[in-house]
Structure 1
């Protein structure tokens, strides 16, 4: 039985390209539903985003990360695409 996967992404927007970074995130986050993913929360400090994302199963996260459309979006934004640190978390 697969278990729900809960993630927190710490997204560092590129200095001077925060608006591009936010647009990039808008585009890739819109792909979540096709992989069983849901954006639970999206918070910002202006130069960093904190995203809480859930997937019905780990396989959905893995397919999201290798989605050809997501990879093409990343390539299109190039150096303006933000860097993210993704943490697998559990609720207490």
Structure 2
């Protein structure tokens, strides 16, 4: 974790083949939940392949990130997509 407890993450999101539009709508909805957990989207980039997205996200604390992961609204959105839900790899990063 970086100084002052701020947590910076890079999320690499891959949409399921044939479900790119649904995956983007899911990401839009999930990213809208960040604020309630002390999180904010710093940057969102869409791959030229149409199937990949990169997000830079900051949380005020590790606890905020953990509460975001446990958010029941987030879980419900993911469950609604089933096998069409995107896969995500999250990497903690620091400036330097």
Aligned partner of 2:71 in structure 1 is: 67
Aligned partner of 1:26 in structure 2 is: 28
Deviant stretches of 4+, over 6 Å: none
**2: distance between equivalents of 1:10 and 1:71?**
19
Gaps of 5+ in 1: none
- Give the alignment's TM-score, normalised by structure 1: 0.97
Aligned partner of 1:44 in structure 2 is: 46
Gaps of 5+ in 2: none
How many aligned positions are there?
92
Q: What root-mean-square deviation, in Å, do the aligned CA atoms of Structure 1 and Structure 2 show? A: 1.1
Aligned to 2:5, the other structure's residue is in SS state coil
